[in-house]
Amino acid sequence: MPHERAYCPRPDVRTFLDGAPVVFNSPWSPIPRSSPHLWGPMSNPHNVKLDRDTDALQQLALDMGRLAEAILEKSLHSVWELDAKLAAEVKQDDLPIDRLDLAIDDAVLRVLALDAPVARDLRLVVAVKSIATDLERVGDLARNIASCAKRLASQPEFSIPEGLRKLAANSRAILRHALQAFADLDADAARRVLDEDDVIDDLEDELIRDSIDRLASDPDTTEQEVDFIFIAQHLERVGDHATNIAEETVLAAEAINLKHSSKLGGA
């Protein structure tokens, strides 16, 4: 059974690999593999250090995931409330995500250079780098959604399509499920995430069709409907990044590469 790791509360920020900031051993984390309670007096010091560093690296990615979830939630709230001021805050909220992305770049290089990970440890390090890239793009998508919210806030009164709220809820859910699967290194949970993406694609298609129908019947709503379509596309991309995270989780946990499996007949 994968070891469960919750990642929601704000963790403690400490120091990792000679100065790179990371999140490690927060009160809600599982006991790291590097814990002295798990090692006898004859344990290999290199293995202990490698386990400590990979635990820290994974935890850093999970903290980045928490920030990505938060910025996505805020951007959507600015849409629902038509709050231009709240939407403007999203741009600043993206900066900590970018900083964590750079910190992960540095930490990954240090682990590769100093610890020489192999097998599962190496796959986990590579997965963290890829996942950080996906989370940084989720932050960018949240900024795009906030830009739509600012434009919508300047328009005459209108109602938000219910289909957009449903798509947003599913996009947020799939991101959270992907991050939890990565936290647990649970390949089965990650595979379930891949199935969820089909629902998001269908919801996006439905919303775009409905927006086009409304445009045909009421051209005065063109600007609003175009922004609804943009938001739907951004949310669909969030789902794509969540599936990328799920695929990296399967690769890290089982050494099975699911990328392009639908076209190439993978596992």
Q: Write the pLDDT tens digit of every residue in 187-225.
A: 999 999 999 999 999 999 999 999 999 989 988 889 999
Identify the pLDDT of residue 262: 62
Give, as one character, the DSSP assignment of residue 22. E
Alpha carbons 79 and 171: distance in angstroms, whole number: 15
Closest to 144 (Cα-Cα) out of 235, 68, 46:
235
Give, as one character, the DSSP assignment of residue 107. H
Identify the pLDDT of residue 263: 57
Q: What is this structure's pTM?
A: 0.82
Among positive and negative, which fits the CA dihedral 109, 112, 115, 120? Answer: positive
List the domains of the chain with CATH numbers.
13-29+43-264 (1.20.58.220)
Residue 169 has pLDDT above 90, yes or no: yes
